[in-house]
Amino acid sequence: MALTFDEICIDAHDATALGGWWARVLGWQQDVDADGDVVLHAPPGAGPNWLFLGVPDDKVVKNRIHFDFRPDDQQAEVDRVVGLGARHVDIGQGDETWVVLADPEGNEFCILAAED
């Protein structure tokens, strides 16, 4: 028996808005399925699809899992994503090489330093 990593499921108060936001950040195609959930289609080699599921509750605590992204130019990507509506957050990380941001619903993610 084998498992295939097929998709990442993300609860969202507004699945359409959050899925659309991440589609702009990642540059991925999005579709809405028959249940009204938003699917972001990962390009080949970019990992699993992302599925945004509408839930009635808001996020209230720090994520137990988060995404790390490694750009070619960290500051340019931080500026771009903040310009799209992300915000800087302090989760006690201190002075590190990565930047912690939150999406419009408060889900934390990191933009790492570019590799040398």
CA distance 41 to 3: 19
| Pairing of β 108-111 and β 67-69 | parallel
* Nearest-10 Cα torsion for 3, 55, 82, 60: -100
Structural domains of the chain, ranges and CATH numbers in brackets: 1-58 (3.10.180.10), 59-116 (3.10.180.10)
Q: What is the pLDDT of residues 86-114, one digit of tens each?
A: 999 987 777 888 999 999 999 999 999 99
Q: Tell me how far apart the terminal alpha carbons of the chain are, to the nearest angstrom.
A: 40
Structural contact between residues 38 and 14, judged by C-beta atoms closer than 8 angstroms = no
**pTM for this one?**
0.90
Q: What is the pLDDT of residues 17-60, one digit of tens each?
A: 999 999 999 999 999 988 889 999 999 999 999 999 999 988 88
